[in-house]
Amino acid sequence: MGYPHEPHSKETVVLSRYFGDKSARSYDGWVERGGYKALKKTLDMDPAAVIDVVKESGLRGRGGAGFPTGVKWSFMPKEKNKPHYLCCNADESEPGTFKDREIMRWTPHAMIEGCAIAQHAIQAEVTYIYIRGEFTEELAIVEQALREAYSDGVLGDDAMGSGKKLDMYIHRGAGAYICGEETALMNSIEGKRGNPRIKPPFPAAFGVFGMPTTINNVETLAVVPHIINEGAEWHNSMCLSNPKSVGTKLFSVCGHVVKPGNYEVTMGFSLGELINDLAGGMREGRTLKACIPGGSSVPILNKEETENCILDYEGCIEQGTMLGSGGVIVFDDSADMVYQIMLLARFYAHESCAQCTQCREGTAWTTRILERMLAGKGKTEDLDLLLDLADQMTGKTICVLSDSCAAPVVSGIKKFRDEFEAYINGSREPVLVHG
Amino acid sequence: MFEGAVRKQLDEVLKKYPTKQAALLPALWMVQQNKGWIPDEAMSETAEVLDVTSAYVKGVVTFYTMYHQHPVGENFVQVCTTSPCNLCGAEDVVSALLEATGCAALGETSPDGKFTVIEVECLGACGFATPILVNDDFIEDVTPKKVPEIVGKYRDGKA
Ligand SMILES: Cc1cc2nc3c(=O)[nH]c(=O)nc-3n(C[C@H](O)[C@H](O)[C@H](O)COP(=O)(O)O)c2cc1C
Ligand code: SF4
Ligand code: FES
């Protein structure tokens, strides 16, 4: 439901049913709501059969890339001759995205149950839940839920009386967006700087501690118990548009809307409707100008594209953007797009791990050029310079953080060129940029 | 540093990982919780218990923004000013916080030593603009109007 708002009739509520309901948080509260039935069932199944169910369900990763979850799990070695690991990615730091936080806050056991099922499926004895350092409340809630899961026999040496060993530990981050990238996350667990690794080798062959590893997002894992309970077909048939995008998705809506919050809708829902209807539309007297539908790393849409955009992996690509993490940032006509794009570039410049020259230098120079433009000192050549830089930053680095910085810049210049030109030709008052 | 109860805590942490080095981030959190920041001596002690070099520990400390390499005010305030929060007025929250705490600028500690205010990137709560972190307390929906009361509570130690 649209936490912190009342549920909306157009939502399809699966993951968010208990958002805002404190009594769902405890082990007892979760079991009363049908919790841990799916895990119990799974522990009696052959791991390969669990993977098949998830494959058939059509579930795709909710962390950003949309990779089919069952297929990812099937990359793990079937023969076990080394320890296997699962990493639950709870580093949620992509600007515009705040959904995993609500899953952890209200239904920590949904995430734990999903992790335990995945752990069994990939034959991992340990799950590391990587929680960003700033999530202090979520950390305390998940710690408490894990204590309960151990003391009630869900986890430990004899998980739910199955004779199987399932251990789950929290690893707390310490302030670094890049640790959400899967290989940086593994390095961070190993006690290293959070630098992404060159791939291949891929995590399923050489992951955390050099062992076969699977990494999934919190939301991806939290759906899994529902799929086990309701069946692959139930999940696969939830679809409003393209059959390759199924299930429900949590969309975090923020920025210039009347009711920011998390809304859960079936894949294929309309972006325009999400913004204007569910999230309450623009403030009095304001009109929609632009939207970033998938977290700050994806291209910006103008008004028309926003209104035509279908919220699934293919629908977003059709409008020239991506579904990403489902963080919907809305800009009304009062937004200064040059300033906002500068803030986004500054974010990436701050968060670059600085391994790759194109990224380290590109994010910093992009920010400086935009700051100079905002200060009224921009030159006509700057727009071409920015586009050229963006080109150098795309597809050339160890991870895609560099590309992510280029995306809003390129789409921003293409769609809101007049706003950039206004700063350059002096028809717009310079603004003071601090920091 | 790693003696008595803290050593016990570290021993518990070490059980979670197949290598000693993996306990570095948790160990640094322990240092910061006990000392308020991470001085060079503590880095050396951490290096020693985890069988890595001090230089290695420093390399890790400097990578992660939440580890303090200098002492900070009694109350450490982090305000999100990334685009979504900026759209919702985060700049005014920053100004109100600087005024109410008496900090001359971002990153500087107030003359009474009670506060340090810094700007941070997205706190993962963009729908609750503007979120701030005061020490370990995550506070949502902060507006300039609410700032004096929040700051007052921490100044008086009543939060
Ligand atoms: C710079 C960067 C930051 C990322 N941050 C996150 C994050 O905070 N949370 C997340 O789940 N995935 C994040 N990802 C995606 C992960 O690398 C990975 O694809 C994902 O966790 C896989 O889970 P899924 O298959 O369940 O989506 C990020 C990727 C990049 C390149
Ligand atoms: S692209 Fe940027 S963040 Fe990614 S590895 Fe290279 S320098 Fe680091
Ligand atoms: S942008 Fe401020 S919390 Fe995300």
Q: Is A256 helix (H, G, I), strand (E, B) or coil?
A: coil
CA nearest ligand 2 atom 4, residue = A399
Indicate which atom in ligand 3 lies nearest the CA of residue B122. 4
The contacts of residue A10 (CB under 8 Å, 6+ apart) are A265, A269, A273, A277, A278
Residues with CB under 6 A from ligand 1: A 61-65, 67, 72, 89, 91-94, 178, 180-182, 215-217, 220, 399-401
Ligand nearest to the CA of A394: 2
Q: Compute the distance between CA of residue A246 and CA of residue A266 in angstroms, rounded to an integer.
A: 7
The mean pLDDT of chain A is 97
Q: Are strands B75-80 and B132-134 parallel, antiparallel or unpaired?
A: antiparallel
Joined together, the tokens standing for residue A142 give: 């998940």
What is the structure's pLDDT at A435?
53
Distances A121 to A43, A69, A89, A149, B68 between C-alpha atoms, Å: 9, 11, 17, 19, 40
pLDDT at A58 over 60: yes
Please state the rounded mean pLDDT for residues A69-97: 97
Give the DSSP H/E element, type plus range, for residue A130. strand A126-131
Instruction: Judge if the upstream peptide bond of residue A408 is cis by omega within 30 degrees of 0.
Output: no
The pLDDT value given to residue A190: 98
Sequence-ordered list of residues with C-beta below 8 angstroms from that of A395, at least 6 positions apart, any chain: A403
Return the SS3 of A90: strand
Averaged pLDDT for residues A316-338? 97
What pLDDT is recorded for position A2? 67
Q: Is A241 on the interface with B (CB under 8 A)?
A: no
Distance CA A253, CA A256 (A): 9
Amino acid identity of residue A82, one-letter, is: K
Average pLDDT over residues A10-38: 97
Do residue A255 and residue B22 have CB atoms under 8 angstroms apart?
no
Nearest CB among A98, A176, A327 relative to B64 is that of: A176
Residue B36 C-alpha from the chain's centroid? 9
- Asked if residue A69 lies in contact with residue A51, where contact means CB atoms within 8 angstroms, the answer is no
Average pLDDT over residues B49-60: 98
For residue A31, report the distance from its CA to the centre of ligand 2, in Å.
43
SS3 breakdown of chain B: % helix, strand, coil, rounded to 5? 50, 10, 40
What percent of chain A has pLDDT above 90?
A: 97
Q: Which ligand does the CA of B123 lie closest to?
A: 3
pLDDT digits 0-9 by tens, A298-320: 999 999 999 999 999 999 999 99
Q: Using pLDDT thresholds of 50, 70 and 90, give the confidence band for residue B158.
A: confident
User: A427 pLDDT exceeds 90?
Assistant: yes
Please report the pLDDT score of residue A5 as a whole number. 87
> Residue A278: what pLDDT?
97
Q: Ligand 2 pocket test: which of A182, A187, A197, A356 has the largest number of ligand atoms within 8 Å of its C-beta? A: A356
Please give the C-alpha separations between residue A327 and each of A311, A343, A415, B71, in angstroms, as whole numbers.
11, 17, 20, 35
Q: Which residues pair with A384 in a beta bridge?
A: none
Chain B residues whose CB is inside 8 A of the A174 CB are: 25, 28-29, 64-67
For residues A262 and A102, the answer to whether their CB atoms sit within 8 Å is yes
Range from A157-166, A217-226, A392-401, A425-434 carrying the lowest mean pLDDT: A425-434
CA angle centred on A15, ends B140 and A55, rounded to 5° = 135
Instruction: Report residue B47's pLDDT band, with 50, 70 and 90 as the boundaries.
Output: very high
Q: Supply A17's token pair.
A: 């049913």
- Do residue B138 and residue A254 have CB atoms under 8 angstroms apart? no
Cβ-defined contact of A252 to B87 (cutoff 8 Å): no
**Mean pLDDT value of segment A274-279:** 97
Mutate to test the interface with B, among A98, A167, A187 (most CBs of B within 10 A): A98
Nearest to B132 by CA among B159, B158, B104, B112: B159
Q: Is the CB of A192 inside 8 Å of chain B's CB atoms?
A: yes
A252 CB within 6 A, ligand 2: no
pLDDT score for A1: 64
Give the pLDDT confidence score for residue A434 in this predicted structure.
65
Q: Which residues of A touch B23 (CB under 8 A)?
A: 191
Question: A201: closest CA among A191, A190, A193, A212?
Answer: A212
User: What is the rounded CA–CA span in Å between residue B50 and residue B47?
Assistant: 5
**Subunit contact A327:B60, Cβ cutoff 8 A:** no
- CA gap B89, B95 in Å, rounded: 10
Cβ burial B78-95 (10 Å sphere, 16+ → b, else e)? bbbbbbbbbbbebbebbe
The DSSP result for A40-89, as a single string, is HHHHTS-HHHHHHHHHHHT-B-TTTT--BHHHHHHTS-SS--S--EEEEE
Q: Is residue A294 helix, strand or coil?
A: coil
Q: What is the torsion angle, in degrees rounded to the nearest 10, for the CA atoms of residue B60, residue B64, residue B65 and residue B71? A: -40
pLDDT at A335: 98
**How many beta-carbon contacts under 8 Å exist across A and B?**
147
Exposure string for A334-358, b = 16+ CB within 10 A, e = fewer: ebbbbbbbbbbbbbbbbbbbbbbeb
Report which residue type is found at A138: E
Query: In B, which residues are within 8 Å of A132 by CB distance?
Result: 124
pLDDT digits (tens, 9 = 90+) for A129-151: 999 999 999 999 999 999 999 99
Token pair for B39: 């001085």
Structure confidence by residue, pLDDT tens digits, B116-132: 999 999 999 999 999 99
Strand partners, A131: A90, A172
Separation between Cα atoms, residue A305 and residue A127, nearest integer Å: 41
Percentage of chain A beyond pLDDT 70 is: 99
Q: List, in order, residues 6 or more apart from A50 with CB less than 8 Å away.
A: A42, A117, A120, A121, A228
CA angle, A367 as apex, B82 and A183 as ends, to 5°? 70
Query: Among residues 29-88 of chain A, which lie with CB inside 8 Å of chain B?
Result: 83
Average pLDDT over residues B129-156: 97
Range with lowest mean pLDDT among A1-15, A20-34, A205-219: A1-15
Confidence band (pLDDT; 50, 70, 90) for A204?
very high
Angle at the Cα of A70 (from A51 to A159), degrees rounded to 5?
45
At residue A95, what is the residue type?
Answer: P
A435 with B29: Cβ contact below 8 A:
no
